[in-house]
Chains A and B, each alone.
Chain A
Amino acid sequence: MIRFALLLLLAWAGPGRAQELPLVAALSQNAVEVTTGFTGTSLMVFGSTEGPIGPGGDEVLVVARGPTRPVVVRRKVPVLGVIWVNGPSARFAGVPGFYFLAGTRPAWQVLPEEERQRNGLGLDSLPLTSTGARSPAFRAALLELESDSGLWVEDPAPVEIAGSRLFHARLPLPAAVPTGDYQVEVLLVRSRRIVARQALAFRVDRVGTADRIATVAADQPFLYGLSCILFAALAGWLGSVLFRRG
């Protein structure tokens, strides 16, 4: 399917137009549906460039960011030297719920440091501002926790090159991926400068039963609570009927 899509793109960005656009990119899907059977999925980012990419040529970087939310990071401290209790905490505003970065080569190798920091390319250059505990350990812990959950990914595998002008990268979305709008940016780097960029977007939405449950729970909590009670009572009653003397 990917190969077919690549061919299609090649045909579309063929001789006539490729000369005008230094970079053309697209996503394999514009919407990800989270159903009750959702266990994670992956998207394909693919495209073509005007000039040759790879060793000796241009480089391609792909960065994706999910919706942001505030996060609290807490550190456990021993109270009286015995019981471990949540102690100091730092509150980070605007933490991306998903972050992905990959390139034909790592971003820190192809861009000057200040350029990379300014564009937020790399987990260490995410603009995370915190209030509360000052220690840099909290920021490091946040990075570690998010990376462990698979929601923050940096350079899992290089962006793959086919035929020196086509590239594609797999964007893994784990089951815990937050819902909302995602921005994907594809950057073309030539001689340590960003020469072209294309912004893409996709949405992660709950659909079907999962969506209906979450919507009702959020919008009509009283109705939701009532139906939880009734459903549970009904299940209990059904059980007693089914298994009577059974």
Chain B
Amino acid sequence: MQVYLPIAEMSVDAFLLVGIGFGVGWLSGLFGVGGGFLLTPLLILIGIPSPVAVASGANQTLGASVSGLIAQWRRGNVDAKMGGVLLVGGVLGSLAGVQLFALLRRIGQVDLAVSVFYVVVLGTVGGLMVMESVRAILRRRTATKRKLHEHFWMHGLPLKMRFRRSRLYISIIPPFAVGFGIGVLSAVMGVGGGFMLVPAMIYFLGMPTSVVIGTSLFQVVFVAANVTMLQAVQLGTVDILLTMLLLLGGVAGAQFGASMGTRLRGEETRALLGLLVLSVAMSLLWGLLRRPANLFSSGPAL
């Protein structure tokens, strides 16, 4: 069934979109991430213009993360104070990111920038995840105990604050910086940033794993809402029909994925997610290196 997307101004198969939403939702439920990093490249692959794919991807991430956030909030797994600090950084970061995106669009380098961001960020994150989880799987046998958290330069920074839920007493500068960086990335890549935020919170901020997922969802929901609003006002590229079709499949898929995820062990899940992230990065890298079939492309002049 073909459906005409009013903002993308093109006709797409509705079942294909629902199917993509379901698949991405399933994976995101399985791994506990928003799945935007898979969704945006897939949308670009089926011919949705990059600006619409990025903006609608952020909008869909918002919807997909809300149900997860509600569940985590009910269990008390959200550190609202830490989330708030991350969020201030995230909102400012996404403001900067949307300006960067508008600039890239004017000079005609959106496709390049989106691809390069994906290759660099996904390549790094995916590689680290695979290495870390393989090491963890190997270490499981020897079972040496790690220290709860270690002190390094970060703990010497000023503006310290107590985060009760996270059992941390640290400077607000690192979480602010993390939030800002993720905000920029989420505006340019159309992702919520959960797949970067979760490792950053565990390894960089030293937060306990129990509150990480909930707090990252808290940040993702609000940053994605901010990106949606900025993209809608400044660029007019959010396609609500596209978002809704993706969410229709996404919310169902996430539930199936989540129930399957409980049967997988942590390290194996992380290794699989890392491989998935790496393969997306590789396919985008191939797209950049391969000689394009048509050297010319056209677009509306701005």
Chain A interface residues toward B at CB < 8 A: 34-40, 69-76, 78, 82-86, 89, 91-92, 137-138, 141-142, 144-146, 175-176, 178, 206, 209-211, 213-214, 217-218, 221-222, 224-229, 231-233, 235-240, 242-243, 246
Contacts and interface: CB of A to CB of B under 8 A. Distances in A.
Contact of B299 (A38, A71, A146): A71
Interface of B: 2-4, 6-7, 9-11, 59-60, 62-68, 70-71, 108-109, 111-112, 221, 225, 228-233, 236, 238, 240-241, 243-244, 247-248, 250-252, 254-255, 288-292, 294-301
B22 to A, nearest CB: 12
B192 to A, nearest CB: 12
Chain B at the A interface: SS class: helix
A36 B108 contact: no
B3 A232 contact: no
A235 B246 CA distance: 11
Contacts of A89: 108
Contacts of B289: 82-84
A77 B248 CA distance: 40
B240 to A, nearest CB: 5
A214 B228 contact: no
Contact of A85 (B11, B68, B112, B243): B112
Given A73-B297, A233-B221, 20 more contacts: A36-B6, A37-B2, A38-B11, A39-B2, A39-B11, A75-B295, A76-B296, A138-B296, A141-B295, A141-B296, A175-B4, A213-B6, A213-B241, A217-B6, A231-B240, A232-B247, A235-B247, A239-B247, A240-B66, A243-B252
Closest 9 CB pairs of A and B: A239-B251, A236-B66, A225-B232, A240-B67, A232-B63, A141-B296, A175-B11, A70-B301, A243-B255
